[in-house]
Structure 1
Amino acid sequence: MPDIVLLRHGESTTNLANVFTGWTDVDLTPQGVAEAHRAGQLLHKHGFRFDVGYTSYLKRTIKTMDIVLEELDLLWIPVQKTWRLNERFYGALQGQNKAAAEAQYGAGQVLLWRRDPYAHPPAITPADPRYPGHDPRYQHLTDRELPLTENLSETLARVLPFWTETVMPALRQRQKVIVCAHGNSLRALVQYIDKLTDEQVTQLDIVTGVPMVYQLNDNLERVNHYLLTE
């Protein structure tokens, strides 16, 4: 089977500002742009080629993917965008500084919301301007699919259909795949691929702009994986 590369977008403006981002559509920082170029250069150096790419609906992944593919002279390959790869929806925490949230709710509670697979951050209502139902890119989603808040297990539940219905068939056709997504949507994917327990996934950090290479067998089970850093 061809390798598959998973990549978290380059540093975003809200990563830099230590803010809960979620589905907020923020841009890359200059450092994030540099991280994307570096990822593309590393993939080029090690001879990676791709037939298809997948990103979320959010421009920090879209721009990262474009930069990576430009470094590989592969801007012409198809790139499919899907809401299923969006970052976890952080509910009422979305747009709030993380230190301010800890001061308001307590560091232990915020850590629980961030890392416990079943803990929900405070929910918003459909009247909230942050509700994705107001955004035209999500008009095709059902009320049930539009989140008011989301825990990590629910992020995994919406990411997995993308993996099983889209990525797995592409891999079985021997296509070379790159996925550019977010810290939590990738955490959900990695939990599934690596068969991590809930406790293990709470300790998992996925850094921005560093390609994760997964080598899979014919059953699409992980044989090996490594970070591409030099």
Structure 2
Amino acid sequence: MSKYKLVMLRHGEGAWNTENRFCSWVDQKLSADGLKEAESCGKHLKALGFEFDLVFTSILSRSIQTAWLVLQELGQEWVPIQSSWRLNERHYGALIGLNRAELALNHGEEQVKLWRRSYDVCPPPIDQTHPYYQVIHTDRRYTCCDIHKDKLPKSESLKQVIERLLPYWNEVIVPEMKRGKRILISAHGNSTRALLKHLEGISDTDIVNISLPTGVPVLLELDENLKPVKPHEFLGDQEVIRAAIKKVEDQGKVKPNDK
């Protein structure tokens, strides 16, 4: 029997989602379509009768902005928000800013799929010659983390995302759930995949096939031991969601006119 209902959400679309570029830790606001996605998500959750007591986000603006808009549509703007770098998107290292389809053309679709979706393959690390190194590593938000800025990642596999996310999940989020708080997590594609992998026991091989569209809430029902009572569920028009998932999967493929 379900005891807890956890709603997770990949933020609404950002500008670099539209441009098919690895955004990662580069901070961006939502695009016009991303704003609509977040508002639509809030409307849908309201129609389903969801109420929240606490929201968790990353420290990236697109995650926080999505949470604001969802709460606004729910009429629950007063609900507290807690933000942590541990819910940030995966650090894509040297791939940050690059176009996925162009990478597929130059390195092959399978290599790009490994970089994007595999469990333990880590992209090349970012270094000081990278055009976005200073943008990320001089950002004041990274002086407010629970570890020293010098120890923050320069590149991550999904395995490493899980390793830095789980302490926050176990020590901060889980105790709130067990106190009866109804939780919304507004995060990113890979931090949400990481949590799904952990909670659902998805294998290292099968996680490659899990893709999350922007702005679509994911419901996971858990028992008293925080074990899922059924597979996660995308909330919304299922045909539209399937099309959105395919769009995400196709981002790492060579465009027909580039062949």
SS of alignment partner, residue 229 of structure 2: strand
| 2:12 and 2:215 in contact (8 A); partners too | yes
Q: CA deviation at 1:113?
A: 1.4
1:123-161 per-residue CA deviation (whole Å, 9 max, x = no partner) reads 122564426432211114325631111111001111111
What TM-score results when the alignment is normalised by the length of structure 2?
A: 0.84
Match of 1:217 among 223, 231, 239: 223
Taking only the aligned residue pairs, the percentage that are identical comes to: 39
Q: Which runs of 5+ in 2 are unaligned?
A: 238-259
Within 5 Å, give how 1:163-178 maps onto structure 2. 163-178=169-184
| 1:133 and 1:146 in contact (8 A); partners too | no
**CA–CA distance in structure 2, aligned partners of residues 109 and 41 of structure 1:** 38
- Alpha carbon RMSD of aligned pairs, Å? 1.5
1:192 and 2:207 are equivalent in the alignment: no
**CA–CA distance in structure 1, aligned partners of residues 51 and 149 of structure 2:** 39
SS of alignment partner, residue 223 of structure 1: coil
Within 5 Å, give how 1:117-136 maps onto structure 2. 117-126=119-128, 128=130, 129-130=132-133, 132-136=136-140
1:203 and 2:232 are equivalent in the alignment: no
Match of 1:62 among 56, 61, 64: 64
**CA–CA distance in structure 2, aligned partners of residues 106 and 145 of structure 1:** 32
Within 5 Å, give how 1:68-147 maps onto structure 2. 68-126=70-128, 128=130, 129-130=132-133, 132-139=136-143, 140=145, 141-142=147-148, 145-147=151-153
What TM-score results when the alignment is normalised by the length of structure 1?
A: 0.94
1:182 and 2:184 are equivalent in the alignment: no
**Alignment-derived partner of residue 23 in structure 1:** 25
**Alignment-derived partner of residue 235 in structure 2:** 228
How many aligned residue pairs are there? 230
Q: CA deviation at 1:117?
A: 1.3
| 1:49 and 1:176 in contact (8 A); partners too | yes
1:86-109 per-residue CA deviation (whole Å, 9 max, x = no partner) reads 000000100111122223333332
| 1:5 and 1:177 in contact (8 A); partners too | yes
**Alignment-derived partner of residue 48 in structure 2:** 46
Match of 2:37 among 31, 35, 38: 35
Q: Which runs of 5+ in 1 are unaligned?
A: none
Q: Would you identify which runs of 4 or more consecutive aligned residues in structure 1 move more than 6 Å?
A: none
1:4-37 per-residue CA deviation (whole Å, 9 max, x = no partner) reads 1001111111111000111111121111111111
Within 5 Å, give how 1:146-165 maps onto structure 2. 146-165=152-171
Mean Cα deviation higher: 101-110 or 201-210: 101-110
SS of alignment partner, residue 4 of structure 2: coil
| 1:2 and 1:175 in contact (8 A); partners too | no
